[in-house]
Amino acid sequence: MYRMEDVPDASLEELCPVCGDKVSGYHYGLLTCESCKGFFKRTVQNKKKYTCAENQECRIDKTHRKQCPFCRFQKCLSVGMRLEAVRGDRLRGGRNKFGPMYKRDRALKQQKKALIQASGFRIENNRAFINHQRGLMFTGGLLPLPILHSTALHDPESDHISYQPASRFSLLPSNSLGPTEFASLSDGADKSEYINNCASSSDGSYQPYSRPFSPQGSRMPHLVMEFMRCDPDELLLQNKIATHLLQELKDWGKGESPNTFSLMCLIADQTLFSIVEWARTSIFFTHLNVSDQMKLLQNCWSELLLLDIISRQVLYGKEGYLLLVTGQEVSYLYVSSYAGPTLASLVKRGQELVERLHILKLNRQQLACMKFFILFNPDVKQLEDHQYVESVQEQVKGALLDYTLCKSPGLLGCFAHLLLCVSELRTLSSLAEDYLYCKHLNKEMPCNNLLFEMLHAKENCA
């Protein structure tokens, strides 16, 4: 019996993010199967136009992939396959500019594997995950984790927690490129490099999400595209936070491990760092002076943190489980057994919000807008550049409205519902802050961290 880490090339054990078939290598930006590689090539080379007979949401898997080329191609694009990697000149052989990216992705996977080994996680067989979602708890798992393991209520036999294989997410989404790589992609006049007109904006900058074959009705406002560029990639984030967490755990000492609550604080803290980093380097925010930046972040950190958690459930989560930023899944059964009444009701309302956003079919584009909407809150007191913040929020609102109307033309209420969700989020975040503050008063909170500082900063403002 093979263990995952003994398999010669684990990357080939992964599944095609488009259809779930066996991966044959890197093709057009990421690991895919041979058939989707061919399909993507044919489509782009021959400039094929497909239409969907259904509602543009056909399920694409190994058996159904032939049925709707429209949805298959949509999925190709949405998981991050690159139009630019299909050569306009049909030149054969050699390498293109994606080479270094593939190399980096390999290194990342290697690192992740090492991480998983070091931490005692057992990665699940992806095939098992796709085929037997129901039975997973009993078959795939075997996961007594060092993390999330210290509460007496957790029974390792019942496998409430499982490791979430990263390959469910797009492995190399368009926005995982660094700035230098953006530059190198956009100025490519290489003879073997096919830059599609539609993939480059008029100012020459790279626009990952514009697509030449986009169906009518999903044209993306320019601003939404800008937001998407600022949006961190889930897999990179997962790696970063998992790495950090492991380091912290090592520092913690061998003997005792932190309790579940402390662990959650560590994770929240790291997430908060990533949120601040996101804001710090984002469009519009960089134009503000530091003082206003601080005020905005102190105002909305908990909303953004909560939105991060909730959106993860909507976009990637599965029923009955809480998906952590580290990729682990925690059964709600476990959560509720652990939580007191306050936390339990928070979690319940959170789940309801997840459900509402799920029904609204929240996607990453809308999420990106919501984050900016929350960040640029003109209600924050004593802003030096109040007018600017207000105008940004108006622009964000406009972009979200445009995008949402394009996306679901029939559903006028969709936009309004999203705003209602933002408002519910605000309520929940305020409750969550209260909860954390109580924890702090009871001296149950670790306090040398950003989470604690944020909690404190607001208290001083109020």
Q: Which residues bind DNA (CB under 7 A)?
A: 21, 25-29, 33-39, 41-42, 45, 65-66, 69, 85-87, 90-96, 98-100, 102, 192
- For residue 213, the minimal CB distance to DNA (Å) is 14
* Residues 267/244, Cβ–Cβ less than 8 Å: no
- For residue 37, the minimal CB distance to DNA (Å) is 7
Residue number, 94 or 204, with CB nearest to DNA: 94
Residue number, 16 or 272, with CB nearest to DNA: 16
- For residue 351, the minimal CB distance to DNA (Å) is 38
Cα–Cα distance for residue pair 268/451, rounded to 1 Å:
7
Q: Is 340 a known ligand-binding residue?
A: yes
265: left (phi over 0), alpha (psi -120 to 50) or beta: alpha
Residue number, 93 or 255, with CB nearest to DNA: 93
Residue number, 193 or 292, with CB nearest to DNA: 193
Residue number, 65 or 364, with CB nearest to DNA: 65
Q: Is 342 a known ligand-binding residue?
A: yes
* Residues 424/302, Cβ–Cβ less than 8 Å: no
- For residue 52, the minimal CB distance to DNA (Å) is 13
C-alpha distances (whole Å) from 38 to each of 81, 99, 106, 215, 220 are 12, 19, 22, 21, 27
Q: Is 26 a known ligand-binding residue?
A: no
- For residue 91, the minimal CB distance to DNA (Å) is 6
Cα–Cα distance for residue pair 283/291, rounded to 1 Å:
17
* Residues 353/428, Cβ–Cβ less than 8 Å: yes
Cα–Cα distance for residue pair 301/375, rounded to 1 Å:
8
Q: Is 148 a known ligand-binding residue?
A: no
Cα–Cα distance for residue pair 129/316, rounded to 1 Å:
14
Q: Is 435 a known ligand-binding residue?
A: yes
Tokens of 412: 């006028």
DSSP-assigned states of every residue in 36-68: HHHHHHHHHHTT-----SSSS-----TTTTTT-
Binding site for a phospholipid derivative: what residues are annotated? 340-343, 435, 439
Binding site: what residues are annotated? 340-343, 435, 439
